[in-house]
Amino acid sequence: MMPKNVPLSKKSKQFLENLRVYLFSTGKKEKEIDEIVEELENHLMQAEKDGKSIEHIIGQSPRAYMEQLASEMPIDLKAWMKYIPMILFGAFSFTVVRDLFEGTLAYSLLEIIGFLIIAILFLTSISLTFRYVAGKNLSTGKQFAILYPVALLPMALFIGLIFLNQHVTTPVISFGMIGTIIIAIVTLIFIIGISIWSKTWVLPIVLTFVSLPDYLLGFTSLTESARLITGTCITFGGIFIYLWISSKLAKA
């Protein structure tokens, strides 16, 4: 986005690049990031033409200056909203895809009702939180301090549900062959839909690395512990390589 022919010093260019990354990582609106980076780029260009040092513009600590800017910019709540259905259906699809490899689907009543309650709780709490955060003039740090626990809430509830399901017996509902196929297709459509909508293929790729190695290794003659270790290595290695490649691509 930055023109390559700008007669800016390396130090200034580096600062602008760091600023862009910093603001992006703190969840600011892309349009506002572009605007402030461009404005500072203009300022630095003119300042350098007039023989001023970058320290004269941004002070002694670039980090402190970036924080000052960030604290005056609102978090992009719409972008956050994008990740909510992804987290929710993502969590759901992990369970479904794993179980699909094991055969026809069967869930206890507790699991089904529990999931629905968690989904409703999560959607209500997150939308209430967003409304609260958007209405207040909070610092970035405070906004994240409020949003993170709410985003992590379903994770904790899911773990709770899994434990509860092991100790409480409720009627099991079996979906049979046709039911399983329908759920599989719906899940697949969800995964593809979410990927297209959120413009990232992170969900299906992570899903594949989590579910497929275990399944494929089941056909090998490896011992259980060897399968477990190999599977874990492939899962984390694969995800790591994917994230590394996508970060390289994003920079280019």
Partner 1 sequence: MSTTQMMKGILDGCILAIIKNKEVYGYELAEKLEGYGFSNFSEGTIYPLLLRMQKEKLVTSTLKKSTAGPKRKYYRLTENGEQELQDFIERWENLQTNVNHVLKHETKKEKEIKHDA
Residues that bind partner 1 (CB under 8 A): 35-36, 38-43, 45-47, 52, 55-59, 65, 68-69, 71-74, 137
Q: How far is the CB of 130 from partner 1 (least distance, A)?
A: 18
Nearer to partner 1, 69 or 161 (CB): 69
Nearer to partner 1, 35 or 102 (CB): 35
Place of tokens 């697949």: 188
Nearer to partner 1, 48 or 188 (CB): 48
CB 117 within 8 A of CB 190: no
Nearer to partner 1, 32 or 102 (CB): 32
Q: How far is the CB of 71 from partner 1 (least distance, A)?
A: 7
Q: How far is the CB of 43 from partner 1 (least distance, A)?
A: 5
Q: How far is the CB of 251 from partner 1 (least distance, A)?
A: 24
